[in-house]
Amino acid sequence: ELKELKKANVLHIDVRERWEIERFGKIPASINIPLGELVEALQMDPTEFKEQYNQKMPSKADPVVFSCLAGTRSKQALGFATSLGFS
């Protein structure tokens, strides 16, 4: 499903910790924003976001998919994004 979504320019944010990415690998075409940084990251100035994560900051209307190892953190990430006005 994710591969199909990515064809439609969906931003994929992996909310695992950096050590997990190093140990278990990066998902291609995803950006890593650990869950503990997510709320701050989604409120950054777009220029600062681009510098920090090397990716265009999503607008509140852009499609975004969150992932983690088991689903718990990605569910939290969705709640954080929704509370900040992302749809």
The catalytic position among 38, 41, 68, 81 is 68
Tens-digit pLDDT profile for the chain (87 aa)?
777 777 777 889 999 999 999 999 998 889 999 999 999 999 999 999 999 999 999 999 999 999 999 999 999 999 999 999 998
* CATH architecture, domain 4-84: 3-Layer(aba) Sandwich (3.40)
Where are the chain's structural domains?
Answer: 4-84
Sign of CA dihedral 30, 41, 54, 52: negative
pLDDT for 59 equals 92
Token reading at 2: 């994710």
pLDDT for 80 equals 96
Is 68 annotated as catalytic? Answer: yes
**Distance between CA atoms of 79 and 55, rounded to whole angstroms?**
22
H/E segment holding residue 11: strand 11-14
What pTM, to 2 d.p., does this model score? 0.90
